[in-house]
Amino acid sequence: MNLLESSGLAILRQIDPETSHALALKGLNSGLLPLPGPITSPRLGTMMADLPLLNPVGLAAGFDKNATAVAKLSRAGFGFIEVGAATPLPQDGNPKPRLFRLKEDRAAINRFGFNNDGMTAIAARLEQRKRGPVPVGLNLGANKTSQNRAADFARVLATCGPHVDFATVNVSSPNTEKLRDLQGPAALAALLEGVMEARASLQVPIPVFLKIAPDLNEDELAAIAEVALSSRLSGIIATNTTLSREGLKSAHKGEAGGLSGAPVFEKSTRTLAKLSQLTQGQLPLIGVGGISSAEEAYAKIRAGACAVQLYTAMVYHGLSLAARIAKGLDRLLTRDGYANVAEAVGTDRDRWL
């Protein structure tokens, strides 16, 4: 982390978290922050479903909700980025304050509730982007007031799908009432049927992933794995934020919403490993939750992930964390004698089961 970035982070951490986030996006778009450009090597280059990646370190949804910083983020060292979540209609989300730093826990709690500009505005921005070697995906959401939330996901995909490289069905956010109910087998199968019909109608069908919660028991995970395999999904993202508050120290630990960051690492990695066991390599898995170092990204990969995503750790370690993790992964793969990151996937899965 250079002096400019560390000084900027110190200032931003003195400001309300949501305001700080908005300022960070403006700063990124201003061009003041030096960006490393693509980070790759023969060991880091890999595949995520049908998508070639320069490296397996991605940006999770939520950082750039409205696709306003895609060009800059594509040069920040990530192997892929995910924007959104987008809903059919614009919505303000839940009342403020709705984002809380948990400094002592290296974590955050949010209850945004899918605040975004809506699929039409987001699609227009994505249409204007210059396509390059870094895949850009969109997280699909549903409006809070929708009478048919399952149909919302298909609507967003039909509108935005032509302008992105992959999409993620997000039924795991804890901040929209009863949204997680759509993770049940029957509801999920019906929802995915509509989404896959929308995917088939695209001129160029794109990979579709499913993002799940870390708070599922083994029977629920097994049911989701079965539905995912039968629905022709491209992969699963494990995991979203958790409702658990176990072991937290920070003053904001009692706030409602989804917890992300360091405390989620073990729980999300166990979920990932279990999914790897259940799917037996038939579905690519993307590991998310609590990654703040190359070693933690490597642990997710060895637990079964073909790629990983970051978000909360950047609050504490800066945007340059992506490039540092990618370079660190390259060194770890070299140390352990792997010619390619794909060779390391799942090699330490049993440790987490």
- Predicted confidence at residue 156, as pLDDT, reads 98
| Domains of the chain, each with CATH number or no CATH | 3-352 (3.20.20.70)
Share of the chain above pLDDT 70, in %: 100
Q: Is the pLDDT of residue 177 over 80?
A: no
> What mean pLDDT is predicted for residues 63-75?
98
Averaged pLDDT of the chain: 96
| One-letter identity of residue 181 | D
Contacts of 349 (CB under 8 A, 6+ apart): 273, 276, 277, 302, 303, 304
pTM of the model: 0.96
- Predicted confidence at residue 311, as pLDDT, reads 97
Q: DSSP letter at 116?
A: B
Catalytic annotation on 173?
Answer: yes
Q: Is the pLDDT of residue 172 over 90?
A: no
CA atoms lying within 13 Å on the CB side of residue 312? 25
> What mean pLDDT is predicted for residues 129-156?
96
Share of the chain above pLDDT 90, in %: 91
> What mean pLDDT is predicted for residues 220-244?
95
Q: Is the pLDDT of residue 209 over 90?
A: yes
> What mean pLDDT is predicted for residues 241-258?
97
- Predicted confidence at residue 8, as pLDDT, reads 87
CA distance 34 to 72: 10
- Predicted confidence at residue 352, as pLDDT, reads 98
Selected catalytic residue, list 172, 173, 234, 276? 173
Q: Which DSSP string do the residues of 302-340 spell out, in sequence order?
A: HHT-SEEEE-THHHHH-TTHHHHHHHHHHHHHHHTT-SS
| Residue 247: both structure tokens together | 């072991």
| Residue 140: both structure tokens together | 């699909």
**β partners of residue 235:** 209
CA distance 240 to 237: 8
Q: Is the pLDDT of residue 183 over 90?
A: no
E strand or H helix at 222, and its extent? helix 218-230
Q: Is the pLDDT of residue 32 over 90?
A: no
Termini Cα distance of the chain: 35
At 139, is the secondary structure helix, strand, or coil? strand
pLDDT in tens, 290-340: 999 999 999 999 999 999 999 999 999 999 999 999 999 999 999 999 999
